[in-house]
Amino acid sequence: MNQNGLARGMVVLIAAALVVAAIAIGWIILKGDSSLLREVSFEENIITPNADGETDATGISYEISRNADVSIYFENQTGDRFYFRQEQSRGVGEYQLLFSGVVEGYELPGEEVEGEIVARLLPDGEYNWTISAIDADGLQESISGPLTVADADSELPEMRNFSLDKHWFSPNQDGIDDRVQIQFFLPKEVSSYRVFVITSEGAELPVAELERDVAPGSPGRHYFDYEAGVDNKATPPPDGVYPVVAIAEDAEGQKIRVEDELTIEYGGVPRGEIISPVVGDTVQFSSTAVALCDSVTFTLTVQNYGSTPLRTTGPAPGTVYDSDWNYNTLGWHTESGAWRAAIGYENELSNYPYRFSLGNSDDLEKIGDHYYLMPGERSVITGTIRIVGPFGERNPQPVWAGLIHEDVEISQFNNRVDPHQILVDIADESNTLDCEDRDVPLRIRE
């Protein structure tokens, strides 16, 4: 081959190589290269995560060309690995995120921390960061670089002495074990915290903090009050065992989780009523006119139409009051959460002075040291009032029944039920005789 032919051949080869190179460059420009992990960068190689607003975090960016599981982790000089992201699925595209030094929770050797460390700052030191991606075919690519952590706030947002004042309670407004108090001590200020109960369906029921001299989020002891929503007429969770959880997070993003258990039994919104019959009076009085020193007797029926027991207290049905007595006279003082049937009248000196238990021992069930009218049960209640003077200023006087949930409420439909006019037949002053004295049937305490 002469020199001209050789020259022409070289020109053809060079032209072909240029064409191939141009096609390759064009393909790369249009389609990108075949690498899985691209454009990886850490904006800073030194961070000081102490929430002072200066170099607290560094930006991270990367791109993946195919669907992949991505991990971001850090290794110290002894080879310990700390994960920021671990095998999280990511689709094709570019990603930017902020790293503030917080990784998945870990414990230091010999360290004792109450609860679970969910997230924690890296200790001060030198680290090697790695971003790793694995695609569906198992192909893995990783890129690494250095990072220094300095001046990190190493104190954790612990919730020390996390405790419940009881592990069994009955949220039903009976005045006995209706509430649970939860408390813990914060050694440092936190940016957020919450306490909640987890239901069997996984829902979180928040528990409110009680106002105390320690401000929310400040170091000190914090108290929380749980009554399962019954105070607001909400139905509590069904009887059972439930986790009680508290989570606290500080300004750096460190997070602690603590947990205990709580058993609910006899929970529910209490519901009782005085039953109105199809015919006849709801409250039956033995007479509408009573001579001085004689007695009037009433009869009514009470039903527990709710899902939780109704606690009650005496005096027992059948008790005879003098009209100038009241339940305190007999020693049966108000008991928060107890239910009692009662008789009241206009101009009474004390509200519903004549009160009675919701049944005799045969009608009730004893739970612990207290008696209850159980769900679905009803009882007939009678009581007697010996008239030793007029009922208040009026004669005849309207007299009615009520169903009292003491220190809680007298619902509208259980208040002033079925009024009757009762006339006290009193002779003129010169012929009026004093009623015979009788002993007060004082309460006998066990």
Which residue pairs from 204-212 have beta carbons closer than 8 angstroms and sit at least 24 positions apart in sequence? 204/245, 205/229, 205/237, 207/182, 207/244, 210/181
Domains of the chain, each with CATH number or no CATH:
34-149 (2.60.40.10), 160-264 (2.60.40.10), 272-431 (2.60.40.10)
Q: State the alpha helices, DSSP H only, in 158-262.
A: none
Which residues in the chain land under pLDDT 70? Answer: 1-33, 445-446
Strands 160-164 and 180-186 come out as antiparallel
> Terminal CA-to-CA distance of the chain, rounded, Å?
129
pLDDT of res. 4: 55
pLDDT of res. 154: 86
pLDDT of res. 9: 52
pLDDT of res. 395: 87
Cβ(122)–Cβ(93) under 8 Å?
no
pLDDT of res. 33: 66
pLDDT of res. 26: 42
Cβ(134)–Cβ(68) under 8 Å?
yes
Give the type of residue at 403: L
Report d(CA 347, CA 404) in Å as an integer.
Answer: 18
Strands 168-169 and 255-264 come out as parallel
Give 161-190 pLDDT, tens digit per residue: 999 999 999 999 999 999 999 999 999 999
